[in-house]
Structure 1
Amino acid sequence: MSHKTFISYKYSEAQKLRDDIIKALGDDAQYYKGETSDSPDLTDTTTENIKRHLKDMMWGTSVTIVIISPNIKKSKWIDWEIEYSLKEIMRSDKTSRSNGIVGVIMKYNGGYSWLRTKTIKKDGHFLINIDKCKLYSIIINNRSNQNPKQYFCEECKTIDVLTGSYIALVDEEEFLSDPQKYINNAFDKSQNISGYIIEKTR
């Protein structure tokens, strides 16, 4: 099943990955509701006008893809877009429910160590360490927030990388190889949002 999507990204460093994601969506790109190269230039317009334009694009979508790039926190809009995506917004007699959200980690300098490192536990399971300084608090607070937690391994208390967090983080290459897998996972969690402790404010 296809879902209406919005991509939140820092234009100056993640435009190519945004384009790669749209291309990887294939026929499902018709359900993409965010910016494209044909979108109007809002550089010199007011903040309220930009917000209104973004709201019109995001309203009615069900999944937000957030590109996690090295300078994401320098964006004026991404944390606001995540916050808006998590709200339930009513227009006339229709309500846009909280979106599922998936973070796509951009490959930088040949890898992903700029954001996360992996170590192997004694039982063979991976422990992933994220550099939280490089992420907005609204992303950090919606990770490892499954309630009740369902451990991938009860012995070492390892959570599943996709279902253990409302905002899962996926490497660029993995996401591009099967975008529908991760979009569907994000959507499924939005349909079971009561199974997570959600932080909806920045």
Structure 2
Amino acid sequence: MARKTFISYKYSEAKDLRDKIIEALGDDAKYYTGETSISPNMSDKTTEYIKDKLKEMIYTTTVTIVIVSPNMKLSKWIDWEIEYSLKQIKRSERTSGTNGVVGVIMKYNGDYSWLRTSVTKSDGHSTTQIDDNYLYDIIVKNRFNQDPLKYVCDECKSVDRLTGSFFSLITEDEFLKAPNKYIENAYEKSTKISEYKICRQK
């Protein structure tokens, strides 16, 4: 089943990847709610006006895709968009649910080493370590937050990358091959938020 999605990204460096994601969604792209090439320019609007518009767009969606790029933290909006995605916002008689969220790591200079490195544990298992300096605190606080945390290996204390964190990080290559797999995973976790310690404020 298609989910209504919102894509959060830094325009100056991730616009091309946003376009690739929309293309990869195929027919499901019609459920995308967010900025496109024909969206009105809001650069001359007040901060409060823009925040209200973002809330309005995110309110009707169930999954937020966050493009994780090297200069993402320079954006004025991404951390707000993540916060609005995680908050339950009341409108009239209806309150929005918490969106599922998934991070798509942008390839930079041909690979993902700017953000992640592979580490071999003492028991021989390989795990991926993320440089949290590139991430907003609201992302870091929603990783490895399954409650209780379920280890896939008790010895090296590694967790499943899709279920161990509410905010999973997937490479651009993986996501573009099977976007609906990761969107559905994010949505499923949003229906089980009692199993995660959710941080809703940046």
> Alignment identity in percent?
63
Cα distance, 1:120 vs structure 2: 2.4
State how far apart, in whole Å, the 1-side matches of 2:173 and 2:125 are. Answer: 21
- Greater CA drift, 30-39 or 121-130: 121-130
Counterpart residue number, 2:106: 106
- Are 1:60 and 2:60 matched, yes or no? yes
Contact 2:122 2:156 in 1 (8 A): no
Offset of residue 56 of structure 1: 1.4
Q: Secondary structure at the match of 1:168?
A: strand
**Secondary structure in 2 aligned to 1:13?**
helix
Superposition pairs for residues 4-15 of structure 1, below 5 Å? Answer: 4-15=4-15
Q: In the TM superposition, what is the alpha-carbon distance from 1:122 to its structure 2 partner?
A: 4.1
State the TM-score, normalizing by the size of structure 2. Answer: 0.97
2:118 aligned residue: 118
Q: 2: CA distance between counterparts of 1:126 and 1:189?
A: 25
After TM superposition, the structure 1 stretch with the greater mean CA deviation from structure 2, 60-69 or 119-128, is 119-128
> Matched residues in 1 for 2:105 and 2:58: separation?
21
Deviation of the 1:112 alpha carbon:
0.4
Tell me, in whole angstroms, the C-alpha distance in 2 between the residues paired with 1:70 and 1:143: 19
1:87 partner letter: K
| Equivalent runs, 1:110-189 vs 2, <5 Å | 110-189=110-189
Aligned residues: 202
Report the equivalent of 2:95: 95
Work out whether residues 83 and 138 of structure 2, in 8 Å CA contact, stay in contact via their aligned partners in 1.
Answer: yes
Matched with 2:25 is: 25
**Structure 1 segments (4+ residues) deviating >6 Å:** none
Alignment RMSD: 0.9
1:81 is the counterpart of 2:81: yes
How far apart are residue 124 of structure 1 and its match?
3.8
